Structure 1
C-alpha cells in the first residue's frame, strides 16, 4: 500500500518504520523541514507541510491507499487543538476522499473521557469531555467518522516507551506524588503496543469503528508512584493538594478481542522496567 503518515513524530516515526519493514510505501509528513528530512533514514518519503495551512491538501500525494492521522497539537488549549485535530484532519480527509483511500486511521485520545469518579470506560462509553480542548477531541472523532466506512478511531492512553521517560522523571522530581486522591486511575499504553493497535485497525478494523489502545493493567496513582520510586531507590514524594485531572479506568478488552491483539507490555511494570534501568534504577 501507499500509506500517508501524518504527524510522523515519536509515534508516527515508529509507524513509518513498521510499515516500511513490511513492504509498504510510506509518505511521512512533519511541519518542520529538518525533522521531516530525518524520516528518509527510515525508508519513508518525507514531506514538510503544515497540514492546517490553506491549500495544504493540494500538496499531498495522489494514489494514497491509506492515511494514518497521528498529528499532535503544538501546545495546550483549544486553539492549538483545533489546528491539529480539526483543521489538519479536514486536509487529510479531503486527500483521502480524493484518492478513494480504503482506510483512514485517526489516533485520538482517551482524553475524551473526563470522568472523575473512578468509573470504567470502554469503547462503547459515550465521551464526556471536561474541557474545551477535550471537546475538540470529541469533534475530531465525529469529523473523521463522517468519512464513512474507511474511518477508524484509535484512542490512545498515556503513551510511553523508548525516549519518553517523563513518568519516571516526574516521580524522581516529586511532581507525581502520594497524597489526596492518589487512588485515581492511571492508564498507559507502550508505544510498541500502540503501533500494533494502529496497524491492526488499518489492516482489519471494522468500518467506522472506535478502538482503545490501552494496556491491561490500569493502576491507582499510588501504585505507579511507589513502583517507580522503589526502583529508583528513593522515597516517594507526598503532597497535600489533590492532583488535578480525570479519574477513570480505561478498558480495552473489546479492542484486543476484535483486532486479535496480544500486548507486548500488558502493564506499566513490564514496560517501565527497561526504561528505569536506563534511568539508573533497578
Structure 2
C-alpha cells in the first residue's frame, strides 16, 4: 500500500487466518481476529492477538466491529447450505463511511470455474460453478465486488484450490482403506501449501498496486489419486485400492464424487508475475515432505 498499515482485522481465524495474523503481528501491526467461541478467544490471546467476539450468522453482533483504516482479511467460509453467502452480505453492510477499511483480501475457490475438461485456466475464464459450495463462494465474491464498487475501497480476491500442509492431510481416509479412482481416470486437481497460501495473502494485503483477482496454486497440477499415493508413501502405509469410475460411483460419497466430476489445471502466472510471489513449495515433491517435518 502507498501508506503504512497499522491495524489489521482477520475474519475467520482458522489455520490460514492465524498464520497471516502472526505474520502481521511479527511486523509490528495491531492485529484483531473475529471469533465466536471462548476456546478461540483463548487461542488468539495466547498468540498475542486481540479477539473480537462476534457471530457472522448474527448481523447485530457485527455492529461492534471497527474496520476504519484497517487491512481486512476475510477468510470465513459461507454457510454449509444454499447458493448465497449471507455472512458476507451481512458483513459488507457494516462497512459504510466513515467505517471503511483500506483494503479487503478475500479467499475464494477455484471451484467457481467448474469443470474445464482438464484445460489450463486463467483468471480470464468466466466463472461457471456447478455445485452449490462453489456457487456460495461466487456469491461472496459478487457481494464484495458490489460493495467495493459502491465504496471505492479496493479488494483482492484469491481463488484457491485444495490446501495441504500439517493437519490437512487425508491420513484417516488412507488408513481406513477407502478407494481412490484409477490414475488413468482421475481428473486433474490443484494444490497450494498452507504456508504458501498465507504468504500470498500477506503479499496481496500489502502490494502497492495489486490486481483484483488472482489464481493461487503451486502451478503443478497432478491428480487426486497421485496426491493420495504420495501421502500414503510418506506415511509408510499401503496405497489405497484403485477402482474404476463406475465402481467409484457406488462406493464413494457425493462430496468426493463432486470433486472427481471436475478437471482443470490452474494457471498461476498472474500471481507470480504481478505480485512477485516466490513459492516455498512449488510442487508436491517439495511440499509434502515438509508436512512430516513439522515445519511450514
Using the size of structure 2 for normalisation, the TM-score is 0.83
Please list, as runs of the form range in 1=range in 2, the aligned pairs for 1:262-277 lying within 5 A after superposition. Answer: 262-276=278-292
Q: Which residue of 2 aligns with 1:26?
A: 31
Asked if the contact 1:122–1:252 (Cα under 8 Å) also holds between the matched residues in 2, the reply is yes
Measured at CA, do residues 224 and 160 of structure 1 come closer, stay the same or move farther in structure 2, by a change above 3 Å? Answer: closer
Q: Any idea what SS the aligned residue of 2:243 has? A: coil
- Alpha-carbon distance in 2 for matches of 1:180, 1:195: 30
Q: Which runs of 4+ in 1 moved over 6 A?
A: none
Task: Please state if 1:221 is matched with 2:220.
Answer: no
Unaligned regions of 5+ residues in structure 2, if any? Answer: 1-5, 249-256
Q: Which residue of 1 aligns with 2:141?
A: 141
Q: Which residue of 1 aligns with 2:127?
A: 127
Measured at CA, do residues 9 and 221 of structure 1 come closer, stay the same or move farther in structure 2, by a change above 3 Å? Answer: closer
Asked if the contact 1:193–1:213 (Cα under 8 Å) also holds between the matched residues in 2, the reply is no
- Alpha-carbon distance in 2 for matches of 1:42, 1:211: 29
Is the deviation greater in 17-26 or in 87-96? 87-96
Q: Which residue of 2 aligns with 1:17?
A: 22
Unaligned regions of 5+ residues in structure 1, if any? Answer: none
Task: Please state if 1:261 is matched with 2:261.
Answer: no
Asked if the contact 1:157–1:189 (Cα under 8 Å) also holds between the matched residues in 2, the reply is yes
- Alpha-carbon distance in 1 for matches of 2:237, 2:208: 43
Cα RMSD of the aligned pairs, angstroms, is 2.3
Asked if the contact 2:67–2:101 (Cα under 8 Å) also holds between the matched residues in 1, the reply is no
- Alpha-carbon distance in 1 for matches of 2:17, 2:51: 12
Q: Which residue of 2 aligns with 1:2?
A: 7
Task: Please state if 1:152 is matched with 2:118.
Answer: no
Q: Which residue of 1 aligns with 2:104?
A: 104
- Alpha-carbon distance in 1 for matches of 2:211, 2:274: 14
Q: Which residue of 2 aligns with 1:43?
A: 48
Please list, as runs of the form range in 1=range in 2, the aligned pairs for 1:186-225 lying within 5 A after superposition. Answer: 186-204=189-207, 206=209, 209-225=212-228
Deviation of residue 259 (structure 1)? 0.3
Q: Any idea what SS the aligned residue of 1:97 has? A: coil
Deviation of residue 163 (structure 1)? 2.1
Task: Please state if 1:92 is matched with 2:91.
Answer: yes
Is the deviation greater in 257-266 or in 65-74? 65-74
Q: Which residue of 2 aligns with 1:53?
A: 58
How many aligned positions are there? 271
CA-to-aligned-CA distance 1:9-62 (integer Å, 9 cap, x gap): 121111111111111111101122321331012221101211231323311035
- Alpha-carbon distance in 2 for matches of 1:273, 1:65: 37
Asked if the contact 1:150–1:207 (Cα under 8 Å) also holds between the matched residues in 2, the reply is no
- Alpha-carbon distance in 2 for matches of 1:141, 1:63: 21
CA-to-aligned-CA distance 1:96-140 (integer Å, 9 cap, x gap): 433221101111111112115112212111111002332221121
Q: Which residue of 2 aligns with 1:252?
A: 268
Asked if the contact 2:56–2:87 (Cα under 8 Å) also holds between the matched residues in 1, the reply is yes
Using the size of structure 1 for normalisation, the TM-score is 0.87
Q: Any idea what SS the aligned residue of 1:141 has? A: helix
Please list, as runs of the form range in 1=range in 2, the aligned pairs for 1:53-72 lying within 5 A after superposition. Answer: 53-61=58-66, 63-72=68-77
